Amino acid sequence: MVLHCMDFRLGSAIRNELERRGILDDCDIVAIAGAGKTIVSSEPESWHEATMSHIVLSKKLHGTKKLLIMNHTDCGAYGGRSAFGDRVEENAQHKADMKKAAGIVADLHPDLTIELVLAQIDDDGKVSFEDVA
């Protein structure tokens, strides 16, 4: 399962990245504002519940064994790039949230392999992807 933000700026870039990883036509894809943030925050509660229920449903219906959580910079659910002092702070917040989200999911679903990816949206709109350890 891939959990990513609904931001339209990521559409074709995510598609290309999933194809590069060889999983494009072999995974459930869930898009929700904030992506991993919905796991670590219960505000709004309905987003948190939707995300968590999609993980359960993906496992039940399709035997999902891996979850890829993909956040991105300049995310509106975080207040956009201007919500941070600089890019270092922004990247650190996303990575911390994704790692916390991975821990929450791993506690509930120890059978899942979890991968984290941060999509960097440059000022010119170019998108690049970084695996987060």
Q: Which stretches in the chain have pLDDT values below 70? A: none
The residue written with tokens 């990513």 in the block is 4
Per-residue pLDDT, 44: 87
Per-residue pLDDT, 109: 98
Residue 4 CA, chain-centre distance (Å), reads 4
Task: List the structure tokens of 4.
Answer: 């990513």
- CB neighbour list of residue 36: distance below 8 Å, 6 or more residues apart: 3, 69, 70, 71, 94, 97, 98, 101, 116
Predicted structure pTM score: 0.95
